[in-house]
Amino acid sequence: MSYQKYLREACYVGGDWIAADSDALIDVQNPATGEVIGTVPNCGTEETLRAIEAAKLAFPEFSSMPLLERVNLLWDLQDALLDNKQSLAELLTIEQGKPLAESLGEITIGAAYVRWFAEEIRRTKGEIVPSPTNGRKFLVTTHPVGVVGMITPWNFPSSMLARKLGPALAAGCTVVAKPATATPYSGLAWGALCEEVGFPKGSVNILTGSARQIGGAIMSSPDVRKVTFTGSTEVGKELIRQSADTVKKVSMELGGNAPFLVFEDADLDAAAEGAIISKFRNSGQTCVCANRFYVHSDVYDAFVEKLVEKTNALKIGNGLDEGVQQGPLIDDDSLAKVEELLADAVDRGAKVATGGTRHELGHTFFHPTVVTEANQSMRVAKEEIFGPLAPIFRFDSENQAIAMANDTEFGLCAYAYTKDFGRIMRLNEGLEYGMIGVNSGLITTVEAPFGGVKESGLGKEGGSQGLEDYLDKKYTAVDFDVAT
């Protein structure tokens, strides 16, 4: 095992690795075994204020570094991630639980985000807007927003930071980041990697500890000009409220409730395969996980049969073991929530087609579960499940499917399986979602803008759009006839 190489039990502030002022520590557990892997500092307000100060001091030099120098640092960061892919992936699996193959994929896409934004920043252009009169020029130029606060969740502890650090550093912003308490090591590893490749002291700061104190210091500081958050809608709303006092820019990647539509003309084998990827990846703990399966009555039984067969074939276990496809849930509360939602569905008429119980492996392992005869009165129709439970609803017409899919305050990602091109275009217009996967259960890619509408968020990560929130636009009007 090489994961110790990036297991840092200290926070990275101003280029130094520090303990909490109080020396308080937080235990970090492996969800697959319950074992304590190590500790991290329990930092609070004071350490965060010092990190913000370090980022503020580093900003003038970092933002005015020649562009190619900054781009080269990002290329080196990409190389460092890929050179240490195995160690970083093992660390991720040990603290988060996901299968090693998924962790390797997460590190790889994180490196791709860093590279993408190193490429994109070189193509960021301003404008010269035509003046209605002679003797004037109107320039529109782009400038880094300043110090950026980042708060990230435990489900993708490495790549959620990659999607924020990549564009922020490319733009010339400096950073104060707080990874989730359950999975701090993959976040702290970014500090170690940035140090290793030579990012200037203070340009990247990473703190673990009290969410309220670290978050509070970030949100109330007038020196932090932007906050980017990935996590629950509940916390996101609170941060939007807090951002008002200092009028910060905010980007919010929040919760989802993805519908997965299977039409009567769908390739059912492909739909079942896509359903497995979309539903059970990361044990059902992704924001874009299919939450509700809507299947046309004509193909309902056939789809359920295929999905159950594939679900039963999934190998459950410790993510480090060969061939494992589903690991544990992150903690006891997550397990309890899946059980509650399942019990509610069964009370309201759902039938368990497979799974439905805790796994013999104990801890937070749960059998991947499919339930049929789901209906809109069940909690699974409204709430983000965030676990390996697939409820299957019925529909009889396209309009009904679209209406049921949109019947939620969320709007992150939707999926549809159909071969009818006209229908695909109607879905593109009718589905109120920021992302739509057609005949695909996995659509995240660095080249495209990831992000939701409605209560799933504000702003985009990835694509050319992923840089925009880290750059302010400045308008300069020049009268050039004055000297003659």
Interacting residue ranges for ligand NAP, rule: CB under 6 A: 151-156, 160, 178, 180-182, 211-212, 215, 230-232, 235, 238, 253-256, 287, 384, 412, 452, 457
User: Is 287 one of the catalytic residues?
Assistant: yes
The H-assigned helical ranges of 290-362 are: 300-312, 332-347
Give the torsion sign (CA, 151, 252, 389, 343).
positive
The least CB distance from residue 231 to ligand NAP, in Å, is: 3
264 noted as active-site residue? no
Catalytic residue selected from 90, 95, 102, 253: 253
- What residue ranges in 96-223 does DSSP mark as E strands? 127-129, 136-144, 147-151, 174-178, 204-206
- Burial classification of residue 65, based on how many CB atoms lie within 10 Å of its CB (0-12 exposed, 13-18 middle, 19 or more buried): middle
Q: What is the DSSP string of 6-42?
A: G---SEEETTEEE--TT--EEEEE-TTT--EEEEEE-
What sign for the dihedral angle of Cα 294, 392, 343, 367? negative
What Å distances lie between residue 219 and 228, 242, 425, CA to CA? 11, 6, 41
Per the listing, tokens 């990560």 go with 461
Neighbours of 373 (CB within 10 A): 18
Compare residues 255 and 391 and give the one whose CB is closer to ligand NAP.
255
Closest to ligand NAP by CB, 82 or 235: 235
Instruction: Show Cβ contacts of residue 288 under 8 Å, excluding neighbours closer than 6 positions.
Output: 256, 258, 278, 412, 413, 435, 443, 444
* Beta carbon of residue 259, minimum distance to ligand NAP (angstroms, whole number): 15
**Least distance in Å: CB of 372 to ligand NAP?**
25
Residue nearest to ligand NAP (CB): 215
Residue placing its CB nearer to ligand NAP in the complex, 254 or 342: 254
Q: Least distance to ligand NAP from the beta carbon of 153, Å?
A: 3
Task: Specify the residue, 7 or 151, whose C-beta has the smaller distance to ligand NAP.
Answer: 151
List 173, 287, 289, 413, catalytic entry: 287
β-bridge partners, 141:
474
Q: Whole-number minimum distance, CB 457 to ligand NAP, in Å?
A: 5
Q: Please check whether residue 8 is in contact with residue 189, taking contact to mean a CB–CB distance below 8 angstroms.
A: yes
Rounded Cα distance, 419 and 265, in Å: 6
Closest to ligand NAP by CB, 258 or 402? 258
Nearer to ligand NAP, 97 or 215 (CB): 215
The distance of closest approach from Cβ of residue 291 to ligand NAP in the complex, given in angstroms and rounded to an integer, is 10
Which residues are tagged catalytic?
A: 253, 287
